[in-house]
Amino acid sequence: MKKTVLHWTKEGQGPVVVLSHALGCDIRMWDGVTALLKSRYTVLRYDHRGHGQSQAPAGPYSLDLLAEDAAGLIREQAAGPVHFVGLSMGGMTAQALAASQPQLVKSIVIANAASWYDDTARALWQARVQTVLAQGVAAIADGAMQRWFTPEFRADLAGGGAQRVADLRHQLENTDAAAYAASCEAVASIDFRASNRRIECPALVIAGTRDEATPLAMSQTIADSIPSAQLRTLEAAHLSAVEQPEAFARLLEGFFDGVK
């Protein structure tokens, strides 16, 4: 299988932390968190296949494939196991990676993610796929912004929230439609309920108390399925690392400090 070339950046110093972004985003989703971590950690960010400046090969995609993309990057750019932090689709990648390539991860953080979807949810994912293939990614942008951010963050002109929302919407609308649809299908088909029980590394699960896309109950299910997991919450919607970068970074640093 031909290797997919991923776009990545590495900055800072110290232990390596890999940041894996959400569906429809790119490495810039992590700007706020990176700025807070890079004085103590080497922060390695990358664009998933079909996102940002990474290659967009034809589908189908799967989370196993996304985990192998991440594994290849870690092997090339890190001398030893890393702290792997994923949000939404990135959090699904974290679950797949820790189960399939345990030697590559020192710890995992799973933020605003799910471990499986029932038939009703999968039907909703299929409807989104059909909309995107017929009308383009811009057709689902309004709904995405409502899921990603709280109303007050979307309206925050003085504090910069509204500008972050506009920037991330622009990123989403410029995502390749076929690659976005293939990524949706990969996400819709996940089922980590059995494999999560095999994860042995320390795990932190982060939930947004106002996350309607992956509600707290989904994070609780993940935390219950991973033997070593601890659950923490932030008052945020789906993109908690964007809404609450300082609080998100504090959770990461406190967790990393406890990993042997």
The Cβ of residue 25 has, within 10 Å, a number of other Cβ atoms equal to 26
For residue 155, tell me if it sits in a domain. no
| Burial 72-100, CB ≥16 within 10 A → b, else e | ebbeeebeebbbbbbbbbbbbbbbbbbbe
CATH number at residue 65: 3.40.50.1820
For residue 152, tell me if it sits in a domain. no
pLDDT by position in tens, the chain (length 260): 578 999 999 999 999 999 999 999 999 999 999 999 999 999 999 999 999 999 999 999 999 999 999 999 999 999 889 999 999 999 999 999 999 999 999 999 999 999 999 999 999 999 999 999 999 999 999 999 999 999 999 999 999 999 999 999 999 999 999 999 999 999 999 999 999 999 999 999 999 999 999 999 999 999 999 998 999 999 999 999 999 999 999 999 999 999 98
For residue 36, tell me if it sits in a domain. yes
> Largest alpha-carbon pair distance within the chain?
49
Domain containing residue 28: 8-117+191-257
| Structure tokens belonging to residue 105 | 């991860």
For residue 215, tell me if it sits in a domain. yes
| Residue 148: C-alpha distances to residues 72, 166, 222, 227, 256 (Å) | 29, 12, 20, 29, 26
Structural domain count of the chain: 1
Radius of gyration over alpha carbons of the chain, in Å?
A: 17
